Structure 1
Amino acid sequence: MKKVAQLITLAFAFCFQVYAQKHNVVIEGRFVGYDGNGKVGYSLGAVAGAFASNMITPDSLGNFVITANVKKTEFFRILYSDNNRYHLVELIVRPNNRYSFISEGIEIIDGTWWGYPNSPDIYSLQSGQSDGMMFNKLDKGQIYYNLIDNESHGILSYQDEWGLKQPDVLLDSLDEKINRQLIPLNELLASGEIDSEFYEICKLNVQYKYAERLATAIRSAFWHHKFKINDSIISKQLTHIYPKVFEKYPVNAETIGLIDNMIEYTDMYLEFLEDYKDGVYIYKKRKGNKAFKDVYAKSTQLLPGKVNKHFQQYHMVCNAANLGTVTKAHIEKYLADNDDMKDSYANQLIEDILLPRVEEYERLEYMEMPPECLFLDGDSIDSFTQLSQLLKGKPLLIDCWGTWCIPCRAQFNHIDSLKQLIKEKGITMVYIAYEYSDNGQLWESIIKAKGLEGYHFIANDKFKEDLKRISANNLSFPTFIIIDSEGRILENRAALASDGNKLVKQIEQLIQ
């Protein structure tokens, strides 16, 4: 009854009949706990999980109404989060329908929300069987659609989900997981609560979501130091199974637009096509933005027009936001080539916020380096022993990072909290860049922009090998290393700067 009472209080500012004069779809919703600040991004179109292209401002109670003209089945997605809760609602939208939802959201715990089952209460306006009266009925199909990929995410979760050391059963396990999740959908189809089109869309989403989870788990076993499988027989079996996942669930024009948020799976699929030659798959480790450029360019030939636009838009936003390989000229060309999307929220974000940011970074090329940022000749430093000798026996706090590594650059926002302790302990800060391509100008621009006081150099091949040695071949990025004044490595995997007081305590204990 509480939900029904809340539903009645949704923003019914205009009745459905008035809206229907100009629009054939009404979506009304409430975000419980909305703080009254800010706009909310949403998308409604032919591509499922599309980037938010429109904005709406709910009222003070979190209520809003969206109206639209829909000629065939489309996909709605709305996302909102504040410091306490995360809301995500998705709908399969048909013409001549009204949808209502109440989202209580997911509590954000320790900065994360993944892994907490959640679905909003979703209602659709339906007519009675005998009297023709219209009423709101709980829409089990839409609720289930929101639960399809509502499990723990991330490589660690996927690794726990699949028994990779038994490769022979992986494809059977994939089928079993898919069939198990289709059981409630089959029941809804049999009872008439959903139709065949709705069922097929949900079925595709179930199939591809589990395919993505399995492919991610297998791929991580090829490269991730925590999950790499050293058994050569099992590893070889996985290289045979990995292609079969994509052969069974390919990215194509018939299905891609119907599947919610296919970006990550499409990324893996494009890489797979690049590395699968003459019926043989050989994993190629890629690092750095440039390494992926040619791979993603193939999306133009692989993906249908609208879906490719969404895919390219997503990568343009991410690349510009992360200050990757895109330049001002590259962004301007993208905007000119996609003039039909100029009014979308994402393209406005690119033009109004990200383009000026890229321009600012390009201007840094002509600015002087702050005097506190000192540079060493990386070509002549082959080991940590040489580095310690060069810096005259000072204790060192080393930050190993790369211009291609977004989590590495996020650490720079926390360095200021260490400055006083570094000064008190007489510690020298050293930033070592581990690069895969010539990113010298971006490297310098990031140092300037962040004002990274200390010594800097780009590791040469010999230093990279020494870095792998001291990390016991478990090198990951970012990595912080603590070295004493005699050149002894006290901690080869120290806490990160973002780990609050953990790194401070380690420094205090190790550097006397």
Structure 2
Amino acid sequence: MCRNVLFLFVFLIGLFFISSCTNRTTTISGTIDKQTKLLYSNPDLAVCFDGFLDTLVPDDQGRFELRLDLKEGRFIFIRTSGSRYNKYLLPVQPGEKYEISIDENNGLLAYGPNEAGIKLYQSVWNEGLRPMAMDWRAVFENDTFSRDEMIEKVKQEELTGFKKLLDNKKITRSFYKLIVGDRDCFYASISAGLYLQDMLKIYRSPKTDNSILAEENTMKQLQNIFDRYKPDDKNLMKSPSWAKYALFRYIEFYKQYFTKHINRDNIESLINADSHFSFWFEQIRQSFRGETLEPVLALLIYRDGGVSSNKLVKASIPVFQYFKEKYPESPYLPYFQSPMNRMLAFYTGSELDPSIRFIESGDSIDSFSELISQLKGKKLYVDIWGNWCAYCREEFQYKDSLEVILKQNNVIPLYISLDEVNQDKTWEALVYAYNLRGIHFRANRAFIDDLRKLYRDEKNENPGGNEKKSFSIPWYMLIDENGNILEKQARRPSEIVATKRLSD
């Protein structure tokens, strides 16, 4: 009896020890502008992706503290609100404390454990962002080594720096292992991308015996990459490069070549979500199992279904419904459930928000003054946008706070879309997906020409100079109740929300 009690006691102590070692609080703190918010990728998710972001609001002094219960080392994307393209990547370990700040050159400074390794990783990661996809070919051209040898050589040179830090006990072994997995995934993605470019070139050329042989050899090289670095490897999933590697490289390109879903007749629609979304969905279900299936489907819905892409894809609706049924408690749902539900409501014609109103017979309105004349008596905040405009969509995140300020000033938002009309009414669906309450109008070609004249009057008043033939968006204006333009270049929503003032 005593032996059993002793055994149970030792067993419970062991469980407590294991739990305390594998699930410890990691703290990331610092100071930012108190008017901004800290956005960070959720480390509880299996995949590190800069679209699945949570928000942390600093205190009145701009101080913030992020507390995370990590079981293993993870990468975390970090950026501040309003800085879409200044994002940072922080490799962290369980149970450690980090102090971070942004320097005058918009670089990330991190102080704490593995500090030297974090600094080295920042330089490596930033360097990797510089070459565009097509430039990697030139980076790895060499008279002595093959492209594959050059890629491996560059990777090992990077890892040598981290190995020196490990040998000098400047970083821990677990930190080093995290970096190795990331570099494996990053360079596997680069290598696969280059071979996929080779395939694209082959498919765009006439079919000959040589091109058939080149296609076979290229597919073998791709198969070797995906066999060596398996897209469903859980260790690779920790890398911020995995989303592109698993979804973009493997599913959306390689699987289409592999299954002959792409040929010389439809090669230019290779990554057209409208044409291939259902195919990608089926390939994901065949290629991923268990814990890896959920994050890849979530990435497909978020990235290619329309939540973050240029337009909404109607074919994503059944995939979204499948996802909700299979993973009703999924931690990924909060990042795309609301816009997808609104898109579903639009296409099914149910539960549409009555505060979203479209101007009828919009195609017959050919000028800005004609449109405004129909809305006399209303103060208007005009937002001119297009679904392809990333900056336009970025500003939509401030719409709820903007709406409060507009109501206080008795102003109504008027959204003017420059999108082409299509069968699926994509721009209308996007309005509901973003929940843009207000009045909506889609400009025809004559109306857009009139906007060019209006913009040119403001931007180019030199009669002897070259007239500006286009205008940039997003473009905002403020109109009074008599239809007069009070501000032809009004503040952006982000600027209005930051200052809580509609105008100067």
The TM-score by the shorter chain falls in which range? 0.5 to 0.7
Q: Which residue of 2 aligns with 1:112?
A: none
Letter paired with 1:356: R
Q: Distance in 2 between matches of 1:182 and 1:208?
A: 13
Alignment of 1:240-251 (within 5 A): 240-241=217-218, 243-248=220-225, 249-251=229-231
Shift of 1:188: 1.8
User: Is 1:337 aligned to 2:326, yes or no?
Assistant: yes
Q: Would the alpha carbon gap of residues 409 and 373 (structure 1) be closer, same or farther in structure 2, given more than 3 Å must change?
A: farther
Shift of 1:171: 0.9
User: Is 1:191 aligned to 2:168, yes or no?
Assistant: yes
Count of residues in Structure 1 that have an aligned counterpart in Structure 2: 362
Q: Deviations over 1:139-170 (max 9, x none)?
A: 22233344443231532443543449x89821
User: Is 1:141 aligned to 2:121, yes or no?
Assistant: no
Q: Distance in 2 between matches of 1:370 and 1:451?
A: 8
Alignment of 1:46-445 (within 5 A): 47-50=46-49, 52=52, 54-70=54-70, 72-83=71-82, 86-94=86-94, 97-104=95-102, 118-124=107-113, 139-150=115-126, 151=128, 152=130, 154-163=132-141, 169-220=146-197, 222-223=199-200, 237=214, 240-241=217-218, 243-248=220-225, 249-267=229-247, 268-270=249-251, 271-276=253-258, 284-285=267-268, 286=270, 287-318=272-303, 319-321=305-307, 322-326=311-315, 330-341=319-330, 344=331, 346-360=332-346, 363=349, 370-373=360-363, 409-410=388-389, 440-442=423-425, 445=428
Q: Deviations over 1:67-120 (max 9, x none)?
A: 3444x31425142234468242422423xx222131316868xxxxxxxxx443
Shift of 1:123: 0.7
User: Per the alignment, in what secondary structure is the counterpart of residue 26 of structure 1?
Assistant: strand
Letter paired with 1:27: T
Q: Deviations over 1:192-238 (max 9, x none)?
A: 3334443233122112212322333443455589xx89998799658
Q: Which residue of 2 aligns with 1:391?
A: none
Q: Would the alpha carbon gap of residues 337 and 277 (structure 1) be closer, same or farther in structure 2, given more than 3 Å must change?
A: closer
Contact in 2 for aligned 1:87/1:105 (Cα 8 Å): no
Shift of 1:184: 0.5
Letter paired with 1:58: P
Letter paired with 1:451: F
Shift of 1:327: 5.9
Contact in 1 for aligned 2:301/2:319 (Cα 8 Å): no
Q: Distance in 2 between matches of 1:187 and 1:218?
A: 32
User: Per the alignment, in what secondary structure is the counterpart of residue 451 of structure 1?
Assistant: strand
Contact in 2 for aligned 1:46/1:73 (Cα 8 Å): no
Q: Would the alpha carbon gap of residues 313 and 447 (structure 1) be closer, same or farther in structure 2, given more than 3 Å must change?
A: closer
Shift of 1:48: 4.6
Shift of 1:181: 0.9
Q: Would the alpha carbon gap of residues 83 and 189 (structure 1) be closer, same or farther in structure 2, given more than 3 Å must change?
A: same
Contact in 2 for aligned 1:290/1:325 (Cα 8 Å): no
User: Per the alignment, in what secondary structure is the counterpart of residue 58 of structure 1?
Assistant: coil
Q: Would the alpha carbon gap of residues 348 and 454 (structure 1) be closer, same or farther in structure 2, given more than 3 Å must change?
A: same
Superposition misfits of 4+ residues, deviation over 6 angstroms = 228-236, 280-283, 366-369, 411-414, 430-433, 446-450
Letter paired with 1:275: Y
Shift of 1:187: 0.7
User: Per the alignment, in what secondary structure is the counterpart of residue 210 of structure 1?
Assistant: helix
Computed over aligned residues only, the root mean square deviation of the Cα atoms, in angstroms, reads 4.8
Q: Would the alpha carbon gap of residues 61 and 89 (structure 1) be closer, same or farther in structure 2, given more than 3 Å must change?
A: farther
Q: Would the alpha carbon gap of residues 281 and 297 (structure 1) be closer, same or farther in structure 2, given more than 3 Å must change?
A: same
Shift of 1:242: 5.9
Q: Distance in 2 between matches of 1:62 and 1:242?
A: 52
User: Per the alignment, in what secondary structure is the counterpart of residue 67 of structure 1?
Assistant: strand
Q: Distance in 2 between matches of 1:246 and 1:31?
A: 47
Q: Distance in 1 between matches of 2:211 and 2:67?
A: 54
Contact in 1 for aligned 2:301/2:316 (Cα 8 Å): no
Bigger mean CA deviation after superposition, 312-321 or 440-449: 440-449
Q: Would the alpha carbon gap of residues 154 and 75 (structure 1) be closer, same or farther in structure 2, given more than 3 Å must change?
A: same
Q: Would the alpha carbon gap of residues 262 and 413 (structure 1) be closer, same or farther in structure 2, given more than 3 Å must change?
A: closer
Bigger mean CA deviation after superposition, 230-239 or 174-183: 230-239
Contact in 2 for aligned 1:86/1:106 (Cα 8 Å): no
Contact in 1 for aligned 2:38/2:78 (Cα 8 Å): no
Contact in 2 for aligned 1:369/1:448 (Cα 8 Å): no
Q: Distance in 1 between matches of 2:156 and 2:234?
A: 22
Contact in 1 for aligned 2:312/2:426 (Cα 8 Å): no
